[in-house]
Amino acid sequence: MYVTNKGFSSYNGLLMSLHKKTSHGLQFDVNYTYSHSIDNVSVPANNVFGALNFAGGLVCDFTNLHKCRGNSDFDLTHIISANGIWDLPFGHGRRFGSNSPGWLKEVVGGWQVSVIQAWNSGFAFTTVSNAFPISVLNNAPAIFNGDTSAIKTKVHVDASGTVQLFADPTKALGAFRGPLGLEGGTRNNLRGPHLSNFDIGLAKHFPVGERVNVQFRADAFNAFNHPNFNLPGGGGTGGTTDISNPGQFGVINSTGNARQMQFALRVEF
């Protein structure tokens, strides 16, 4: 077997950021990225013994390196992120409660809220056809007929009780066919579900004398327990959906992490 690096890629992106410096105890950042990553294989070339369906490092066809040129496995068109920290305006030296009794200042003062919001559009993924006309290890992508309305996505539970990506799975399946001869369809021409995640933290600072500070923290990750669905046939990237298995075409079998919470007590001196 002859192994070499025949992969190529390109990336173009636009990044916009809004930053608010700390004032009145509040600071935040908002970022937006519009980008496009294109390649003919998205994993290292020396990872040749990966699983089928483009998880290994072999390109589709050494005689035509553009055969599987398409969206990268990790390509995300839209990415929005935001983070902020707010020192609540209560207690000693703050807007509210500054003249309260000492014990009340200790109770209501020193609180801080932090948040992180992340959202991105779906990862690109590939149809496969259970045919291997152009590569021994890569299952050939199915041939798309160009009907973009047929592959409209809408995550829902279908009549059989499975979670389905496509708004109309029958119509979506009908938009593809298997390859003929040495044909190969377009790689990564489908898009999975978007991802949304909101984390929040609450901290309380307790000064103990002049040199010791105690901090209590409570954090919730995916605080709203929003379901983030993985790609059909895979996880965050590298999903597939097989036209030769209609019952599983577009079926989503897993989700991302559910809500997680943690509590911590920290002593600084």
Alpha carbons 6 and 22: distance in angstroms, whole number: 49
Geometric angle at alpha carbon 205, from 202 and 207, rounded to 5°: 175
Residue 58 has pLDDT above 70, yes or no: no
Residue 51 has pLDDT above 60, yes or no: no
Span 212-247, pLDDT tens digits: 888 899 999 999 999 999 999 866 667 889 999 999
Looking at residue 47, its pLDDT comes to 57
Question: Long-range contacts of range 64-67, CB-CB < 8 Å, 24 or more positions apart?
Answer: 65/6, 65/8, 65/40, 66/40, 67/40, 67/134, 67/184
Residue 226 vs residue 208, higher pLDDT: 226
Span 117-174, pLDDT tens digits: 999 999 999 898 988 887 777 788 899 999 999 999 999 999 889 999 999 999 999 9
Burial class (CB in 10 A: 0-12, 13-18, 19+), 57: buried
Residue 254 has pLDDT above 80, yes or no: yes
Residue 51, H or E segment? none
Residue 207 vs residue 189, higher pLDDT: 189
Alpha carbons 41 and 71: distance in angstroms, whole number: 9
Contact 140, 126 (CB under 8 A): no
List the strands of the sheet with 190-191, edge to edge.
190-191, 124-128, 240-242
- Taking the alpha carbons of 50, 180, 130, 141 in that order, is the dihedral positive or negative? positive
How many residues are present in the chain?
A: 269
Residue-wise DSSP of 68-126: T-EE-TT--SEEEEEEEEEE-SBSTTSSBSTTS-HHHHHHHSSEEEEEEEEEE-PPEEE
Mean pLDDT of 204-217: 85
Residue 62 vs residue 165, higher pLDDT: 165
Burial class (CB in 10 A: 0-12, 13-18, 19+), 18: exposed
Mean pLDDT of 243-260: 92
Looking at residue 50, its pLDDT comes to 47
Span 81-115, pLDDT tens digits: 999 999 988 877 677 766 777 667 677 778 999 99
Task: Name residues whose C-beta falls within 8 Å of residue 133's C-beta, 6 or more positions apart in sequence.
Answer: 140, 179, 181, 182, 183, 184
In percent, how much of the chain has pLDDT > 70?
86
Residue 32 has pLDDT above 50, yes or no: yes
End-to-end CA distance of the chain: 61
